[in-house]
Amino acid sequence: MPVIRTPERTAPESRDEGRGRGPSVSRRFRWALLAALGFVIVPSVYAVAVLTPAGQRIEDAALGGVRESDLFGSDTALNVISVPVILLLVVVIAAVAFARRRLAVGLGAGFVVLASAATSTLLKRIAERPEIAQSTTPNSFPSGHATIALAASFAVLMVTPRRFRPVVLVVGAVYAVFVANQTVVYGWHRVSDIVGACAVALFWLGLVRALGPQVDRGVRGDRDGRRGPRRVVTVVLLVAVGAALVVGVVALLVGTAGDGDHDAMLLAGRMASSASVLAAITAVWLADGMHHVPPTTSASAPPVRV
């Protein structure tokens, strides 16, 4: 005899997933498009910001505002990122996925972290910085710290039940923005390094989500919960990106006026880095469909035969 699920255990029905049939082509296409975007951004940013005298001068101007008495009194957020911590994170992600019976998803999430870290390290070796603008600061493209911070956030999202993703995403966004700001304030990285890091993490996440195992299978653990928190997260992300861009542009205009204001240029660099990280996280949030999926806890949903 067939087993009948109660309404509250009904599979989620969204615009992209239809009655247990798995992810539609459009969803996989969105992730593939995100991967393609990251693939294009890396060489484009490198060509404009690193291989041209104008790009190097603008970015190096922000480094002139770096001082020993910086905004952050601790570099704990940066020191957390190390090889042992990365490996431990991968193990924890796999364990969570195994507990949810999503081991393939956990392996895919771990691959996102390891592949992103490896790609960032490789690019540092092959993407050299030519001395064409009297710059004495060595090559730093892309930022390994920012790459891992973003890739780790994306990987954790993959193994997190959908109803908890708004909270996990906000925490991950705050940490990733903090890391990006610290690397710029300390003079470790330029804006292009952060943008390149975002693109690397987006590429691997998009590739795994497009070609890898299905993350959300439409069962109880994949419920989206209430729409209110998701709408709030969507608005906060969009407003944060816009605010960072506006402040960054104003700071850039002030910094380039007259003899130049190094503090304003540093602020512009920080805001541009923050906007890049927030834009990448927003793109993942939208690609995951968390901003529009209807609630999946309706008691009026029909039962599903399993």
What tens digit of pLDDT does each residue of 249-258 get? 998 888 877 6
Per-residue model confidence as pLDDT tens digits over 34-73: 999 999 999 999 999 888 888 888 887 777 666 544 545 5
Residue type, 251: A
Least confident of 101-105, 208-212, 299-303: 299-303
Residue 297: band (very low, low, confident or very high) from pLDDT cuts 50, 70, 90: very low
The stretch 93-103 carries a mean pLDDT of: 84
Q: In 3-state terms, what secondary structure has residue 23? A: strand
Which range has the top average pLDDT, 94-103, 151-160, 218-227, 247-256? 151-160
Contact partners, residue 306, CB within 8 Å, separation at least 6:
2, 3, 5
Share of the chain above pLDDT 70, in %: 74
Per-residue pLDDT band at 92 (split at 50, 70, 90) = confident
- 42, containing H or E segment: helix 25-45
DSSP letters along 121-160, please?
HHHHHHS-----S---SPP--S-HHHHHHHHHHHHHHHHS
Tokens 């459009």 correspond to what residue? 26
- Across the range 168-183, mean pLDDT stands at 90
- More confidently predicted of 13 and 177: 177
In 3-state terms, the chain is what percent helix, strand and coil (to 5)?
65, 0, 30
Rounded distance, CA 207 to CA 213, Å?
11
Angle of helix 83-99 relative to helix 144-159, nearest 10 degrees? 10
- Count CB-CB contacts under 10 A for residue 226: 12
pLDDT of residue 11: 39
Please name the amino acid found at residue 21: R
The total of other beta-carbon atoms located within 10 Å of residue 13's CB is 17
Has residue 263 got a pLDDT over 60?
yes
Place 306 in a pLDDT band, splitting at 50, 70 and 90. Answer: very low
Rounded to whole angstroms, the Cα distance separating 267 from 275 reads 12
Euclidean distance between CA atoms 232 and 240, whole angstroms: 12
Quick check: pTM over 0.85? no
